[in-house]
Chains A and B, each alone.
Chain A
Amino acid sequence: AQKITQTQPGMFVQEKEAVTLDCTYDTSDPSYGLFWYKQPSSGEMIFLIYQGSYDQQNATEGRYSLNFQKARKSANLVISASQLGDSAMYFCAMRGEATDSWGKLQFGAGTQVVVTP
């Protein structure tokens, strides 16, 4: 069984500042993948970043970076230089990478981010 926990239901951040969104997980799978998705108020789900548990380096995609600490079972998302368009709900998700876990992407409850001018 696996579990994803996002402990911050909501947060405010000023424009141009960096923000860190927390995500902790628990899994018995030896190999797994971690995802972050963004859901703006319009409702669509937008993929942001992926981290494999055996990746040697932390993933980065533009202004998004994933602070992966395997021993602590955390996969925090860092958004640098926040923009007003970053206001959205952010979801952490995880999936085991063994073939019998394929397809079973599990989501956390999400963190609502509001970027203020």
Chain B
Amino acid sequence: NAGVTQTPKFRILKIGQSMTLQCTQDMNHNYMYWYRQDPGMGLKLIYYSVGAGITDKGEVPNGYNVSRSTTEDFPLRLELAAPSQTSVYFCASSRSGGGRTGELFFGEGSRLTVL
């Protein structure tokens, strides 16, 4: 049981480049999330999805796009990378959005550096 899998684990981008962080989960969870964690800080929600075809903005969505074509996959697209997007990105999923079953299961994180 792999849980939540993110790729790549590390990436260096040049300013202005674009890339996609991949996230897949095998737990048949409806909810999926993307967070970013800046050094020494807590996690901030970028986007989330309540099911295939449905996405919504979180706290810090600017500079990012997402899609959810299947239950399993929730890729995060960075367009025109900027140094401010240097961060560790976490993908997560949960069975529901509330209550005890709303516990988030996290991937291992993707460390992105924009130079």
Contact = CB atoms under 8 A, between A and B. Distances in A.
Interface in A4-52: 4, 33, 35, 43-45, 47, 50, 52
B43 A50 contact: no
A33 to B, nearest CB: 7
Contacts of B99: 33, 52, 97
Interface string B14-53: 0000000000000000010101000011111100111000
Contacts, number: 69
Contacts of A35: 103-104
Contact of A99 (B48, B88, B98): B98
B56 A103 contact: yes
Interface of B: 31, 33, 35, 40-45, 48-50, 56, 58-59, 88, 90, 92, 96-100, 102-106, 108-109
Interface of A: 4, 33, 35, 43-45, 47, 50, 52, 91, 93, 95, 97, 99, 101-110
